[in-house]
Structure 1
Amino acid sequence: MKQDKEVWLRGEHFAGITQLLQPVAHALLQASEELAIIMQNFNDELLWAKPAGCASPGFHLLHISGVLDRLLTYAEGNMLTDDQLAYLKKETEIQELSSSDLEDRCQQQIKITLDRLKNFLPDTLTHPRSVGRAALPSTVIGLCTHAAEHTMRHIGQLMVTVKVLNYQPAS
């Protein structure tokens, strides 16, 4: 599945997504590809392990799915639903799901997010948006960009954590 070039260097344009959000789409698709590689043959017994007190792979997978949904909800000008708030509270809890289930959930949420990006027209990207109960200021493009950036941050953390958990010292 590994490509010779990163998504942003392939010259792809994603139909229906404004040119200004193409970098967001590129980052999300890069995350999707890296996620598939990272989680290949992952041992489910390690899913909730926290090496050196770091967040578990299970948390990263749950969080990526949840944060994409929440940030796009704010970008769309909506407040979070009770279901989204409940999901947020459960992200840190061990769940009875396999790593494959969690990876599939992440991959599906990335696809949903890419579809949601199609709803943002260029003239709406600087519209102000409020984030959270504190109504912190942002914009549509700020939230979309942060969704991609935050996803890639967790993909990087997941990559390192999985490598540490899979490390087998040479004998």
Structure 2
Amino acid sequence: MKDKDLPEYWLRGKVEGTPDLLQPIVHSLLQSKLELKKYMLDFKESLLWEKPAGRASVGFHLQHLTGVLDRLFSYAEGLSLTEKQLEYLKIEAVPNSNVSSEMLIAEFDKKIEEILEKLKTIPVASFTEFRGVGRKQLPSSVIGLIFHAAEHTQRHIGQLLVTVSVVKEEN
């Protein structure tokens, strides 16, 4: 059975190996991965960095999806951001002719798979532990960070869909 014939991930049941409390997060991330590929079908590379109405480009959304997941899970693990992560953050919105949408989608897929493995190992007892976020070390719980990672990913998938639709229509 093909994905298009299946219900959305939240209606497909338990993803084995992941704590029950994290199932909605896993489903959300898997749905994001599926939808990204669907929305990017037949996308022209020449449109990757177009900014319709001055809004974020498809390229930004693709880079940001991977970068934000990486950063939020570092915080959830109680880690500070590395120089590499900070450099990636600086370039997310910068047009880069050395990358293709295919490369960016592959990076996102790889990051999702990495995150899904991490979700299998996070102790349920740590969900309510607080972590510092960002330079100001603002407080969030582990579960709050993980939930926000899934929610933020879905938000950018939706924004990417609109941007893809607009730039395709205009060109």
TM-score class, shorter: over 0.9
Report the CA distance shift for 1:72/1:52 in structure 2 as closer, same or farther (over 3 A): same
CA RMSD in angstroms comes to 1.3
Distance in 2 between residues matched to 1:119 and 1:4, nearest whole Å: 28
Contact 1:126 1:139 in 2 (8 A): yes
Corresponding residue of 1:107: 109
Deviation at 1:15, TM superposition (A): 2.4
Distance in 2 between residues matched to 1:102 and 1:130, nearest whole Å: 29
Corresponding residue of 1:117: 119
Corresponding residue of 2:55: 54
One-letter amino acid of the counterpart of residue 58, structure 1: G
Deviation at 1:168, TM superposition (A): 6.2
Corresponding residue of 2:26: 25
Aligned pair partner of 1:6 in 8, 21, 41:
8
Among the aligned pairs, what percent are the same residue? Answer: 51
Aligned pair partner of 2:130 in 105, 124, 128:
128
TM-score calculated relative to the size of structure 2: 0.95
Distance in 1 between residues matched to 2:12 and 2:50, nearest whole Å: 36
Gapped regions of structure 1 (runs ≥ 5)? none
Higher mean alpha-carbon deviation, 115-124 vs 131-140, is at 115-124
Matches of residues 14-163 of structure 1 in structure 2 within 5 Å?
14-95=15-96, 96-163=98-165
Contact 1:21 1:117 in 2 (8 A): yes
TM-score calculated relative to the size of structure 1: 0.95
Report the CA distance shift for 1:3/1:168 in structure 2 as closer, same or farther (over 3 A): farther
Distance in 1 between residues matched to 2:35 and 2:84, nearest whole Å: 28
